Amino acid sequence: MSPLQLKNAFSCLAQLGCALVLLVWTVAPVNAGKAEYVNLAKRGWGYQLRTNMLGRDLSIPVRIHARSFAGAALCIVGDRPQAQTLEVINAFRALWADAFLKPMPMRYAGRAGRDCGSGRVVTLRLYSGAPPNRDLSDDLAWMNEIYGLGLPTGRFYAATSPAMGQTFFGRRGQGTHIMVSQPDRPVSGIEAQFFRSILIEELFQAFTFGMDVLLFTRDGSFLSKLQEYPVNPRRLIWTSEPFMRAILRSNPPALCEFDVFMLHAVAQAQVDQTNDPDFISYVERDFDRLLGQTRRALADDRFAPILDPDCAPLRD
């Protein structure tokens, strides 16, 4: 999610009654050692849930842990994935399976989100052109029915950005909905980088519960896909090249070494929730082992489509 989207997206999250978090500001060093990794982990995962969300029933339990997605299926609705979209999705599924030691099944269910069924599933709605706001509203109404989210009935929801994802917690389980724009034809250059970037970001954040970490300066290279340098393309059209260039300047186009490291961490952490201090203690304690797994994954060509080699490396 780009900095442009933060205000509107957080407003949307509050209205929908899902987990909302506090932002933390930091600065990216030229490269990183263990201390910088642990510090960034605190900022991306050590957040607090708000206790005064408008319209949310606070008696509904919320549990933040990526293991809740282990073994869940990815259900695609809306447009069928283009070849470039499918390449990103399959690389992410492979990386996820490598970290969690469980596959991520995938299927295309058609136009309606409710056709994904009520099992352990993450819904990914793909579209090109104007955002399918009516379909988004129908998807959330369906999720409200099956998970008991307590959302107001009959509400119309509109996209606040070309890519957005939310996890909702209800009385009958949790549901995750991602909606991402894709090109309606093969693209290259800026367009290909943009659509690849926003899809990678939404998949990574939705499946790991990692939150944006804003940067005041651009000293050195990025350490994580979670980092965001503020840009302001508010008046630009989402499909325009200036908009795409602005978003691509705000954070890395793909996952960094740190992100792969954290994917392994959330997969293996034997803690109740990954936004608790115990999770950061685990990252510190098992740092060397997790780093070894990360380096092995970085050498695997299957994951190359979703990795950014220009991110700042870990300092040995």
Model confidence at 50, pLDDT cuts 50, 70, 90, reads low
CA 98 to CA 208: how far, in whole Å? 14
pLDDT digits (tens, 9 = 90+) for 24-49: 334 444 567 999 999 999 999 998 77
Please state which of the ranges 62-66, 73-77, 191-195, 254-258 shows the lowest mean pLDDT. 62-66
Q: Distance between terminal CA atoms of the chain?
A: 31
Model confidence at 56, pLDDT cuts 50, 70, 90, reads low
Residue 23 has a pLDDT of 36
| Amino acid, single-letter form, for residue 90 | N
Q: Report whether pLDDT(18) > 50.
A: no
* Residue 10 phi, psi dihedral angles, 5° rounding: -65, -35
Residue 104 has a pLDDT of 97
Q: Which residue has the higher pLDDT, 258 or 50?
A: 258
Angle between helices 257-268 and 34-45 (to 10 degrees): 70
Instruction: Give the CA distances from residue 307 to residues 131, 176, 220, 259, 260, in Å, rounded to whole numbers and listed in that order.
Output: 27, 24, 18, 9, 9
Q: Report whether pLDDT(219) > 90.
A: no
pLDDT digits (tens, 9 = 90+) for 227-273: 999 888 878 999 999 999 999 999 999 999 999 999 999 999 999 99
Q: Do the Cβ atoms of 221 and 311 come closer than 8 Å? A: yes
Q: Whose CA is closest to 314, among 248, 251, 262, 253?
A: 262
Q: What is the DSSP secondary-structure string of 43-106?
A: HHH-----S--TT--TTS-----GGGGTTPEEEEEESPPPHHHHHHHHHHHHHHHHHHSS---E
Residue 11 has a pLDDT of 33
Q: Which residue has the higher pLDDT, 233 or 309?
A: 309
What is the mean pLDDT of the segment spanning 70-92? 97
Q: What is the DSSP secondary-structure string of 160-172?
A: SSSEEEEEEEETT
Q: Is the pTM of this model over 0.85?
A: yes
CA 66 to CA 246: how far, in whole Å? 30
Structure token pair of residue 73 = 């299926």
pLDDT digits (tens, 9 = 90+) for 282-297: 999 999 999 999 999 9
Percent of the chain with pLDDT over 90: 75
Q: Whose CA is closest to 259, among 74, 71, 45, 20?
A: 45
